[in-house]
Amino acid sequence: MTARRAGRPLRVGNASGFYGDRFDAMREMLTGGELDVLTGDYLAELTMLILGRDRLKDPSAGYARTFLRQLEETLGLAHERGVRIVTNAGGLDPAGLADAVRALADRLGIAVRVAHVEGDDLGPRYPDSLTAHAYLGGFGIAACLRAGADVVVTGRVTDAALVTGPAAAHFDWAPTDHDRLAGAVVAGHVLECGTQATGGNYAFFREGHRDARRPGFPLAELHADGSSVITKHPGTGGFVDVGTVTAQLLYETGGARYAGPDVTARLDTVRLTQDGPDRVRIDGVRGEAPPPDLKVGRTRIGGFRNEVVFVLTGLDVEDKAALVRGQMAMALATPAPQEVRWDLVRTDRPDASTQETASALLRLVVRDPDRAVVGRALSGAAVELALASYPGFHVLAPPGRGAPYGVFEAAYVPRDEVDHVAVLADGRRVPVPPATDTLGLADVPPPPLPEPPPDGPVRRAPLGLVAGARSGDKGGDANVGVWVRSEAAWRWLAHALTVDRFRELIPESGAFPVTRHVLPRLRALNFVVEGLLGAGVASQHRFDPQAKALGEWLRARHLDIPEDLL
């Protein structure tokens, strides 16, 4: 895969941010404008667990079947337009998906070369895990593209590898081109979640003429020096500006060093510039050698879980909750579940005009290694209270029999113990050598803070009037990125939103370690709360198991804000 014209950027688009994203996005991206490569990200920590459970029932069910249905409608378009497709939809079985794509192409009469990348599956090393996969980099993808592949299927690679691989192939980058690779990693991180870069899930979605009802998918114009422009096809919905790109850069990241298998990108060097309508330039990104070990994502079944939600309507909500809690405690005393959690959600209002808005929700969640303890024991105890508990007793849905829940765990292995292989369209197996230039990770010294703002009148108001936020998960940890859009606001935020203030505003974080990372070039703070999400999203540890709305809760909290910022 070589540059088609000297100086011409490589245009890489995205058509999927997760398994279940908008089905027609692939067609929209192929017909909406010029592209060289179309990527699709289908994997997440939870997806790997889902595929692992599916594979237990059906050994051929290890990949994202939605991708095949999308490709059936669009493979001809991609072939006609010379667009190469790179996806991690292979999941647990990239070879199986590659074979399925070949069969589809044969049935459609389209001559395409299909390659795949393997070596990420480390299941034999971790026999107690449901799935265990190393996060591979982009050079296996690059080897497939350099050998002429039209479609490249991978399993567990980093999300950004879907962009670094095509860029390395197109510009003939070497593994030691750290700055260039880091620029592609940053572009890949912006693209990986699809429409989150084009106005989706955006804090300031209400501003001006912006229409976020159906945002288009993003693309990156990548240059040989590693810089890029994030944009979208003309006429598609949503918008791209420095704020939407900043929000996505902060999503599921931590400190200044963003480590991956190809390179460690320095997020504290990223420079964002508005380059015209719906165009944001990314440059200045510095890179360092990657760490010596590869991250491994492991999933396993953690036990069994059941829940019941009691509806408490009208008066005496607290007393009704106390009554049913006491009744259920008696019923579940022997054998007692390993974990019992109650949450009273006060959705009720006084003198409400509808029954629903007069009602609160009392949620009971139980967990135990033994399904019987959380299955019929809970279900029977809840159902038997139907005529013997608080007035107006009813539940949102009948309790189930107890379902297995998953646990995500991260491990690390030396990179030379992972057999990264590109399997070319003609069947040749090309080993991808591990990086020999590596660098252990260390914290970056905190940068100097800006001068604090001058004293002046303040007003008690929601943080979200001046700051945007985006939050997410990495295993059991939650991150909350907070940014502002002016230097004056940055001078205030950098001093006002300390770790102690964050703990006051988000009381749930009080029992966990909280780290604040300062990113002055983005006018941003990134908070990491270790352990808030328990054993990860699949364990459904809290009401918002992926911390998706944690940032919006923070924005809704009140604090003293200088009036000149309001």
CATH number at residue 316: 3.30.70
DSSP 196: G
- Shared domain for 315 and 282, answered yes or no, is no
β-pair type (10-14, 228-232): unpaired
Do 27 and 60 reside in the same domain of the chain?
A: yes
With beta carbons less than 8 A apart as the criterion, state whether 501 and 559 touch. yes
Which of 382, 139, 108 has the alpha carbon at shortest distance from 263?
A: 139
Residue 354 and residue 238 share a domain? no
Is 537 part of a structural domain of the chain?
Answer: yes
Does residue 446 lie in a domain region? Answer: no
Q: Looking at the structure, tell me whether residues 128 and 189 fall in a common domain.
A: yes
Is 300 a member of any domain? no
d(CA 30, CA 233): 10
Element (H, E) at 403: strand 403-414
Q: Is residue 516 part of a domain?
A: yes
Residues 233 and 369 in one domain: no
Q: Could you state, in chain order, the average pLDDT of each consecutive group of 10 residues for the chain (566 residues)? A: 63 97 97 97 90 90 95 97 98 97 98 98 94 97 98 97 98 98 98 96 84 92 98 96 97 94 98 97 98 95 93 97 95 88 94 96 94 89 94 92 89 96 97 94 93 94 97 92 97 98 95 96 97 78 86 96 96
- Domain contains 438: no
Do strands 293-313 and 131-134 pair parallel, antiparallel, or not at all (unpaired)?
Answer: antiparallel
Q: Which residues of 248-275 are buried (b: 16+ CB within 10 A; e: fewer)?
A: bbbbbbbbbbbbbbbbbbbbbbbebeeb
83 and 41 both lie in a single domain: yes
- Whole-number Å distance between alpha carbons of 470 and 526: 10
The span from the CA of 152 to the CA of 423, in Å, is 9
504 by DSSP, 3-state: which? Answer: helix
Same domain, 397 and 419: no
pTM of structure: 0.93
Integer-rounded Cα radius of gyration of the chain: 25
Q: Which residue range is the domain that position 553 belongs to?
A: 458-565
Q: Coil, strand or helix: which one is 250?
A: helix
In DSSP terms, which residues pair with 422 in a beta bridge? Answer: 117, 430
Nearest 5°: phi and psi at 213?
A: -70, -35
Spatial CB neighbours of 137, under 8 Å, sequence gap ≥ 6: 157, 158, 161, 164, 165, 260, 261, 262, 290, 420
Domain-embedded: residue 100: yes
Side chain identity at residue 214, one-letter code: R
Angstrom distances, CA of residue 164 to CA of 73, 518, 520: 27, 26, 26
pLDDT of residue 399: 84
Comparing CA positions, the residue from 239, 216, 280, 214 lying closest to residue 30 is 216
- Domain co-membership, 233 together with 325: no
d(CA 80, CA 310): 57
Query: Does the residue 448 lie in any domain?
Result: no
CA distances from 437 to 164, 171, 303, 432 (A): 17, 20, 41, 15
Instruction: Check residue 267 and report its DSSP letter.
Output: G
Same domain for 186 and 269, yes or no, is yes
Count of domains in the chain? 3
Residue 208 has a pLDDT of: 63
Within this chain, do residues 393 and 414 fall inside the same structural domain, yes or no?
no
Residue type, 64: A
**Same domain flag for 263 and 314:** no
Residues 359 and 470 in one domain: no
Query: Which of 381, 401, 421 delimits the end of a domain?
Result: 401
pLDDT of residue 543: 79
Q: Do the domain assignments include residue 301?
A: no
